[in-house]
Chains A and B, each alone.
Chain A
C-alpha cells in the first residue's frame, strides 16, 4: 500500500515538474544562441534550420513566423536599459545610433504580439520615415499621450514589447558578438 501511494505521488510530482518546466520555458520564450545588446535580445538561429527545440516549440505554440536569416534579424526588448518593465503608462525614450542595415523598422506590440490600437494608427517607424537629429541619431518617444517628434503611442497597455528589425544586415549572419551594435538605448523618463 505504501509503495502504491509513493508511486502515485512520484508520478504526480513528475508530471507537475515536467509540464511546469515546459510551460515556463515556452511562455518565457527560452531559446539558445541569444545575442544581447543593452536591453535588446535577438535569436538569429531561430530564423534558420539550426533553430533549437525550445524556439521551435515556442513558434509552434504562438503561431509566429520568425524572420529568416537571409532576410534580417529581429531584436526584442521587454525592459529598458535599467531593467524596468516596458509599461504603457510610462514614458520611455529610445535614442542613439542605429546599427548597419539597408532598412530597419521598430514596432510596438502588446505582450501577446498584437499591435496596440491608437487614434493615429501608428505602430512603429521605418528607417526611411523616422525624423533624425542633426547628428543622424534617432529619438523616439514611447508614451500613452501625444508628444512632439517621433511619438510612438503605447496606448496605456500594462506591458509592451519593442521589436527592432534590421533588414539586409550583416549582423547576426556572420557572428554572434555583441560588439556589432550599437543598438539604441531605452530610458524611462517618468510614469503618469
Chain B
C-alpha cells in the first residue's frame, strides 16, 4: 500500500514538473502567436494597415473593432528604428510588443502631447552606443529600448463612431517606421 502511495506521489511530482515546463516552453514553442500570424502577411520594418476585424477571419482574436489598426513588424539587427505616427482626432495609441507578445511599452496621444508620436526604438546595446552628448541635447527625443531584437509595434486609432473609421484609417496611413542604419566605425 505504502509502495503504491509512493509511486503516485512520484507521479504527482513529475506531473508538476511536466506542467511547469510546458507552460514555460509555450511562448517559444507556439506557432500561431501574433508575431507568427503577422509575419505571413506583413513585410519587416514597414507600417502595414490590418484589415477591419469582422466575422471569423480576424488576424488575431479579441481585436477591438472600434479601432483602425496598423502594424510595424520590426527587426533591429540592421540598425535602430524611427517611428512616426500622426495622431487622429479621437484617440491614438502605440503599443510595443516583444517577439513573444509581451507588451513592454505603450503610449497614447495625450502622453505624447504633440501632433504626432515620434520615437526611436533600439536594443540596449544600440542604446549604449548612442553618443552621450547627443542623448542630452535631444531632450525631447524619446528613446525606447526593445528587450528583443524583433517584435511588433501596434498603432491603434479610435473611430468613436463607425462613420469615422475612414478618418482613423487615414491618420494611420501616414504613419512610418524605418531603419536608420548603424553608423560604420
Contact = CB atoms under 8 A, between A and B. Distances in A.
A108 to B, nearest CB: 10
A129 B10 contact: no
A67 B95 contact: yes
Interface residues of A, number: 59
B24 to A, nearest CB: 6
Interface string B25-40: 0110110111011000
Contacts of A114: 55-56, 58, 61
A113 interface: yes
Secondary structure at chain A's binding surface: helix, strand, loop or mixed? mixed
Interface of B: 3, 7-8, 10-19, 21-24, 26-27, 29-30, 32-34, 36-37, 53-56, 58, 60-62, 64-66, 90-91, 93, 95-97, 100-108, 110-111, 147, 152, 154, 156, 158-162
Contact of A71 (B18, B60, B95, B161): B95
A177 interface: no
Contacts of B103: 47-49, 51, 65-69
23 contacts: A6-B3, A14-B15, A14-B17, A19-B18, A19-B22, A21-B19, A22-B22, A25-B19, A48-B104, A51-B103, A54-B23, A56-B26, A56-B102, A59-B33, A59-B34, A61-B33, A64-B61, A65-B154, A68-B96, A71-B108, A107-B65, A114-B58, A167-B158
Contact of A117 (B56, B90, B95, B110): B56
Nearest to B24: A53
A103 B91 contact: yes
Contacts of A61: 26, 30, 32-33
Given A17-B18, A63-B33, A63-B37, A109 B61 contact: yes
Secondary structure at chain B's binding surface: helix, strand, loop or mixed? mixed
A11 B79 CA distance: 49
